[in-house]
Structures are given as C-alpha cells and as structure tokens.
Homo-oligomer: A and B are copies of this chain.
C-alpha cells in the first residue's frame, strides 16, 4: 500500500513522498524500508536517525526527519490503527460446530461462531456476534452481551453477567469459587458456599489463565473498559473501576476496591478490605497493605511513595558503610565524652 493511501486511511497529514510502498508495520529498531514505524515517547526520539523504516508516525512536536512522516497527535493510537490495515487474525468459522453442546434453554443472538467442544449450559443468554473458540464452557444462567470473544479453554461460571465487547483470552476463568472457609472449633474448615456472582462490564478484557472469583454474597465487579492481563487473580467481592489496567500476575485479595484509571504493575498484590483511589499508579511488585488516596504513585512492599522508595533504594547501596560509620561515630563520641 502506498504511504499516501495509508495517510488517507489513518487521517494523517503526510510529510514526504506519498509513493513509498509499505507492506507492514514494525518497531523502530526492527523496521525495514518497506515498513511503517512510530515513536510516541520523546525519550525514544534518539532512535529515529538510526531506523531503517520506510516511513514513520510522529507527533507534530517532534523534530522534522528525512523519513517520510505521518503526523498524528497520538502516534501510538495511529500505529494501532496502522496494524489493522495490514493484519487481521484468521476469520472465525461461522455457525455451530457439530461437536458443540448447547442446552435447549440457552438463547443465542445472531451471527455467531461456536467452535468444537463448546459447552453452553441451561438458561444461558448470549448476545450477537459471539465468537467462542474450541472448548469454551459457559455454565448455566450466565448472561453475555454482544460481540463477545472467548478463546479456547476459557470458562464462565453460573450466573456470571458479562457486558458487550468483552474478550477472554485462553484459559481465563470467570466466576470460580471465592476462597472462603469458616474455621470450626476443631481447627478444620467449612467451605462457605459462594453464592455471589461476577459482573464484567462492557469493553473488559481478561488475560490468559487469569481468574476472577465469584463473591461470597453480592458480586465481584470489573468496571467498563478495564483491562486485566494474564495470570491475574481477582479475589471474591473485589470491585475494580473503569479504564483501570492490571498487569500480569497482579493479585487482589478480596473485597478490594480499586478505582478508575488505576494502573497496577506486574506482580502487584493488594490486601483485602482496602480502597485504592482513582488514578493510583503502583510500580511492579508493590505490596499494597493499606488504602491509598487517589492520584498517588507508590512502590515497595509494603507500599510507600515512589519518590521515597527510590531514595531509599539508592541509599541502601551505602547501608553497610553507613552502619560502619555509625559504629565509628559511637566510639569517637564516647572518647570525646570521656575526655570532658
């Protein structure tokens, strides 16, 4: 596709030759002469002179370059659209595969792709344009909106309520039993029936092998537009806000309240019965043991302000020397005091 045509489709102003032939997209360091690349973060501008890319997507604020350039106020988003010009995954096969098992009382929408060995239980309601890959299991009475995609091995437990445009990656589990056990007098445990549900609002994506537990009573809720990465654990009764991003291997203990536009880095853990305010950012491996006010940036286990944590980290490199200094000072001060 010619760069001029790409610019038109992406609605970008073009600086340079519209006749450059582009056959795909690639990262700044990997792109070749027939590929389109981008730089969004100014700290990577230094890579531009070295790129072999045939064209680049840049913000109008970036310095001009000899490479033909598509101008965008949001180069990363424009790059995302550019990928869609050159690639689409294999189309799902329409209809119902003969090996699927669908309960008579299940209600399907229009225009579906239901793959081999899919199981849909009693009373399930499924919206339009559903794509269920092989082996997806939907337990009884789950209700699911339009444009649902579930990859192979994903399962949705009884009574789950799923909105529109939700995507489940392979092996994701929605509505597994919350981890609740009441101790008996003799030290053994009685399993607490988990009578609540999971609600996934519109535009949620859940990563591969991630787990969202059903509530003991009431609901576990993931808010509109929130994105959850692979191997994340959402404990029962947690409430996650809208447009929040949970990176891989995050764990929320249970009854954890997470606000809107929060970003939790990889392997972050949060204790139960606490509140993480809107816009909080926690760097990777943070352990959140207390409620956190909106807008904070936190790190460490347990958590502290990231600025403090960074200072401490640098100073910890001197810690053994500091201890020696303290010991020496102790001795010297004692001498001085004895000399009085």
Give chain A's interface residues, CB within 8 Å of chain B.
24-27, 30, 74, 76-77, 79-81, 83-84, 86-90, 97, 99, 101, 115-117, 119, 121-122, 133-135, 137, 139-141, 151-153, 155, 157-158, 167, 169-171, 173, 176-177, 179-185, 187-193, 195, 203, 205, 207-209, 211, 213, 216-218, 225, 227, 229-231, 233, 235, 237, 243, 245, 247-249, 251, 253, 261, 266-267, 269, 271, 284-285, 287, 289, 301-302, 304, 308, 311-313, 315-320, 322-323, 325-326, 329-330, 332-333, 336-337, 339-340
Contact = CB atoms under 8 A, between A and B. Distances in A.
Given A89-B158, A243-B188, A261-B187, A176 B193 contact: no
A253 B266 contact: yes
Given A30-B217, A181-B245, 18 more contacts: A77-B183, A79-B192, A83-B192, A87-B193, A90-B122, A90-B141, A99-B101, A115-B119, A133-B137, A134-B155, A169-B176, A179-B207, A179-B230, A211-B231, A229-B233, A285-B285, A325-B330, A336-B340
Which residue, A227, A230, A235, A336, has most C-beta atoms of chain B within 10 A? A230
A62 to B, nearest CB: 17
Contacts of A233: 229-231, 248-249, 266
A227 to B, nearest CB: 6
Nearest to A249: B251
Contacts of A330: 325, 329
A319 B315 contact: yes
Contacts of A249: 233, 249, 251, 269
A216 B82 CA distance: 12
A137 B153 contact: yes
A185 B217 CA distance: 37
Contacts of A173: 153, 169-171, 208-209, 230
Given A173-B209, A233-B231, A188 B88 contact: no
A192 B266 CA distance: 19
Given A188-B243, A217-B27, A333-B336, A155 B179 contact: no
A278 to B, nearest CB: 11
29 contacts: A27-B216, A74-B183, A74-B184, A77-B183, A80-B180, A80-B182, A80-B190, A81-B190, A89-B158, A89-B193, A116-B117, A151-B157, A155-B171, A167-B177, A169-B176, A170-B176, A171-B173, A179-B247, A189-B225, A233-B248, A249-B269, A266-B271, A285-B287, A302-B313, A308-B317, A311-B320, A325-B330, A336-B337, A336-B340
A33 to B, nearest CB: 16
A340 B336 CA distance: 9
